[in-house]
Amino acid sequence: MTTIDPRALRNAFGTFMTGVTVVTAHDADGNPLGFTANSFTSVSMDPPLVLVCLANSSQNYDALTQADGFAINILSEHQKDVSNTFARPVDDRFACVDWRTGPHGSPVFDGVSAWFDCSMHKTVEAGDHVILIGQVQAYDTSPTPGLGYARGAYVTPMAEAEALSQNANLIVSALIARGNEVLLVDDGNGGLALPEIRVGKDGASAALTKLIEASGLSAEPGFIYSVFEDGAREHQHISFLCQAADGIPAKGCFTELSASTLMDIADPAVRIMLERFASESRMGNYGVYYGNQTSGKVRPIVSGS
């Protein structure tokens, strides 16, 4: 076996982009405890299981491995300070966040993208870590975008989109999908288009909220699917992929992206994006596109699971 340089290996592991969580529980005296972890993984749907890896060196090792359960708090983009606090030797880590005791008994945080309050299913020793496997007893989610982490740095795509939206010429479109169909509207010139809106001073996410409200559907705001410069129309364009629940759209209709439908999309940049969406939907994995209307890079999307 070749010798492995631990630092180089750590860097290689760090290329895997993750979210950031804070794992919480109560110790035997009822005191709240928690630590920052990006080793969270969803494991099973039936029964609903999740896991997180805890270093054997953790000051909370005994309390966590003996706890009845633990909660996973999926931090949102504006909770970098919470992540830093729960990764450092701070006296009262819980002072930096509003929290309450969850339905199964572990601390759950306000302002997170999601939390999962779990009973302890199993602990598995694994090298210098222990794997805590929890069974989800209760959970909640919010549309707040999650905080990302890669190569030792935080990643905040929505904040970047907001920064982009300071640009006066920014259009936001909503790629509202339901099954293998997408909501398309009349572009006013005999062609088809995605619902879109020029971004005002309130920024990109407010524009997206307006678009979703105008669609008459209940749809989750979702994630950035594509960011591109539309040279032909002289603007920047951010398209958000949103999953729609049931309901009849106020304008337009859900349409399968067949070759003939794609031909009716008048804007060539949007047509190219929807061709990619149609092929990625067939394969079931999506990427984020950054570039102009003809060339750019597709980066894989990191989802919660």
Ligand X SMILES: Cc1cc2nc3c(=O)[nH]c(=O)nc-3n(C[C@H](O)[C@H](O)[C@H](O)COP(=O)(O)O)c2cc1C
> What is the sign of the dihedral through the CA atoms of 160, 162, 167 and 170?
positive
Name the residue nearer to ligand X (CB basis): 75 or 265.
75
The H or E element spanning position 277 is helix 268-283
Planar angle of CA 67, 69, 73, nearest 5 degrees:
120
Q: Provide the terminal-to-terminal Cα distance of the chain, rounded to the nearest Å.
A: 32
Q: For ligand X, which is the closer residue by CB, 72 or 176?
A: 72
Please give the C-alpha separations between residue 81 and each of 76, 78, 94, in angstroms, as whole numbers. 11, 8, 12
- Nearer residue to ligand X within complex by CB, 93 or 271: 93
Beta bridge partners of 242: 176
- Residue (34 or 195) nearer to ligand X, CB: 34
The CB density around residue 284, as the number of other CB atoms within 10 Å, is 6
Minimum CB distance to ligand X, residue 304 (Å): 16
| Shortest spacing between CB 92 and ligand X, in angstroms | 12
Spatial CA neighbour of 175 closest among 74, 76, 301:
301
- Give the DSSP letter of residue 84: H
Task: Report the distance separating Cα 84 and Cα 82, nearest Å.
Answer: 5
Nearest residue (CB) to ligand X, 129 versus 235? 129
Kindly tell me which of 59 and 243 has the beta carbon lying closer to ligand X. 59
Contact of 117 with 71, CB cutoff 8 Å = yes
Residue 61 CB, nearest distance to ligand X (Å)?
7
C-beta closer to ligand X: residue 20 or 193: 20
Helix-strand-coil split of the chain, %, nearest 5: 20, 40, 35
In whole angstroms, the minimum distance from the beta carbon of 108 to ligand X comes to: 18
* CB 15 within 8 Å of CB 29: no
Q: Which residues bind ligand X (CB under 6 A)?
A: 20, 35-39, 53-55, 58-60, 83, 87, 149
| Shortest Cβ 139–ligand X spacing (Å) | 19
Phi, psi of 112 (to 5 degrees): -90, 165
Closest approach, Cβ 138 to ligand X, in A, equals: 22
User: Rounded distance, CA 303 to CA 40, Å?
Assistant: 12
